[in-house]
């Protein structure tokens, strides 16, 4: 019975719990199949910022149709509708089935509760791992993955608490289950001290920055995927099922943008910190090591995303696709480069 044992136990349990949470969220989506158009017309969200951005350049042009007084956070909360429907007992939309609606709510809550449990387990697992290794638990691919997943789920839970983005539950729990699942099966390595090249204060700075910006890229990327799905549904006519309970696609796009806009400077910093560290450890700040190259590729793709968002004809769908390509590049850099290509960043230890 060692720290390492408890760490593994907690992480394996977290995979199971995240998977259950994913099933709960899947049931939540499925239960909403018959509950159509839950968002009444008056909740039609007009996004001031997005609209304004479009009108920039002709800045004095006013938009009389822009009228939205509701606080923004509530706009992201699909369940407000249910509460209103239940408390007032007045069907806002005659199609809403209160039983089905309640079931959606129940499954959603179960999903979030399980996610919280999985999160606590994986935090425990990471802490135990750190105690077992007696250092920051970021020395190899396994440790980086479990830490990054803690950040992803942590950010998601904060958003659920503060902004009601429970609709992100399905992709996030899927990601967390797959991430931690891969970590405990494929990436797993037993506790070991660090190689000398990692003995540096930049070890903390570079890797924490990478994990946090990675988490934000992931959440932003998932939102971009949801955005594309929702947008497609909107273009096909009235949105039915769970998708109807999601915020407007424009709103999703804006939240995704905030995540990516947060992640981008941090990723820039990650790359710069990596370059500084490389100068200390390897005697050159940039050597086109595969990992460095792909970090730059990822950076450039997200730079594309930010530019695309402010270029006419590239906003919306195209920008979202770029964000997803950026996420793919991030993942390739993490998994593909670690496992397939040999380079100086070969810390996977597998």
Partner 1 sequence: MTTIRTREPAAEPSKLAPQADLPRLGWRGGLRYLWTQLTSMRTALVLLFTLALAAIPGSLVPQRRISPVRVTDFINEHPTLGPIYDKLGLFNVYTSPWFSAIYLLLFISLMGCIVPRIGVYAKALRARPPRTPRNLARLPAYAAAEIADSDHEVLDRAATGLRHRRYRVDFRDGSVAAERGYLREAGNLVFHISLLFVLTGVAIGALFGYRGTSVVIVGQGFSNNLTQYDDFSAGARFRDADLAPFSVTLKNFDVRFETGPVQRGAARLFSADVEVAEAGAAPRQETLEVNKPLHISGTTVHLIGHGYAPKVTVKDAQGNVAFSGPVVMLPQDGNFSSVGVIKAPDARPERLAFEAFFFPTAMLDDQGPRSVFPDALNPALFVNIWYGPPKVETGKPENVYSLDTTGLSQLRAADGEPVRIALSVGDGVNLPDGKGSIQLDGWVRWVKLQIGDTPGVPISLIALGFAVAGLCFSLFIRPRRVWIRVRDDEAGHRVVEVGGLDRADARAGLTEDVAELAAELSRRPEDVSAR
Closest CA to 323 of 274, 259, 231, 249: 259
Which of 72/234 has CB closer to partner 1? 72
Binding mask 163-202 for partner 1 (x = CB under 8 A): --------------------------xxxxx-xxx-xx--
For residue 45, how far is the Cα from the chain centroid? 23
User: Of these, 101, 289, 324, 334, which contacts partner 1 (CB under 8 A)?
Assistant: 289
User: Of these, 37, 127, 297, 321, which contacts partner 1 (CB under 8 A)?
Assistant: 297
Q: Please, which of residues 23-52 interact with partner 1 by CB under 8 A?
A: 48-52
With tokens 């135990």, the residue in question is: 128
User: Of these, 1, 41, 62, 90, which contacts partner 1 (CB under 8 A)?
Assistant: 62
Which of 150/254 has CB closer to partner 1? 254
Q: Please, which of residues 3-22 interact with partner 1 by CB under 8 A?
A: none
From the CB of 222, what's the least distance to partner 1, in Å? 19
Q: Please, which of residues 104-123 interact with partner 1 by CB under 8 A?
A: none
Which of 107/294 has CB closer to partner 1? 294
Buried b (16+ CB within 10 A) or exposed e, 228-258: bebbebbeeeebbbbbbbbbbbbbbbbbbbe
User: How many residues does this entry show for the chain?
Assistant: 350
Buried b (16+ CB within 10 A) or exposed e, 111-129: bbebbbbbbebbbbbbbbb
How many other C-beta atoms can be found within 10 angstroms of the C-beta atom of residue 319? Answer: 24
Q: Does 158 participate in binding partner 1 (rule CB under 8 A)?
A: no
Q: Does 287 participate in binding partner 1 (rule CB under 8 A)?
A: yes
Buried b (16+ CB within 10 A) or exposed e, 75-98: bbbbbebbeebeeeeeebeeebee
Which of 69/90 has CB closer to partner 1? 69
- Single out the segment in contact with partner 1 by CB under 8 A; choices: 26-34, 69-77, 80-88, 210-218: 69-77
């Amino acid at each position: 019975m060692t720290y390492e044992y408890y760490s593994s136990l907690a992480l394996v349990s977290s995979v199971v719990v995240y998977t259950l949470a994913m099933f709960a969220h899947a049931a939540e989506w499925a239960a909403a199949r018959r509950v159509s158009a839950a968002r009444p017309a008056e909740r039609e969200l007009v996004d001031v910022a997005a609209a304004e951005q479009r009108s920039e350049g002709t800045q004095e042009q006013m938009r009389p149709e822009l009228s939205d007084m509701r606080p923004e956070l509530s706009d992201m909360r699909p369940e407000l509708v249910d509460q209103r429907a239940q408390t007032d007992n007045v069907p806002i939309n005659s199609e809403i089935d209160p039983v089905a609606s309640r079931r959606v709510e129940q499954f959603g809550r179960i999903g979030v509760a399980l996610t919280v449990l999985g999160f606590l387990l994986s935090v425990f697992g990471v802490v135990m791992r750190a105690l077992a290794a007696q250092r920051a638990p970021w020395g190899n691919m396994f440790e980086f993955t479990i830490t990054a997943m803690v950040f992803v789920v942590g950010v998601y839970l904060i958003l659920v608490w503060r902004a009601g983005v429970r609709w992100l539950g399905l992709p996030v729990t899927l990601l967390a289950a797959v991430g931690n699942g891969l970590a405990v099966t494929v990436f797993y390595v037993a506790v070991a001290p660090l190689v000398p090249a990692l003995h540096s204060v930049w070890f903390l700075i570079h890797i924490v920055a990478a994990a946090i910006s990675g988490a934000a890229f992931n959440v932003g990327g998932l939102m971009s995927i949801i955005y594309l799905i929702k947008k497609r549904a909107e273009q096909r006519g009235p949105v039915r099922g769970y998708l109807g309970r999601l915020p407007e696609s424009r709103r999703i796009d804006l939240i995704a943008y905030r995540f990516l806009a947060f992640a981008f400077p941090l990723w820039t910093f990650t790359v710069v910190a990596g370059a500084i560290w490389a100068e200390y450890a390897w005697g050159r700040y940039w050597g086109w090591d595969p990992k460095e190259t792909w970090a730059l590729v990822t950076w450039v793709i997200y730079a594309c995303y930010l530019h695309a968002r402010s270029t006419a004809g590239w906003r919306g769908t195209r920008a979202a696709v770029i964000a997803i390509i950026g996420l793919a590049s991030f993942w390739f850099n993490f998994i593909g480069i670690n496992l397939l290509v040999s380079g100086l960043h070969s810390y996977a230890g597998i």
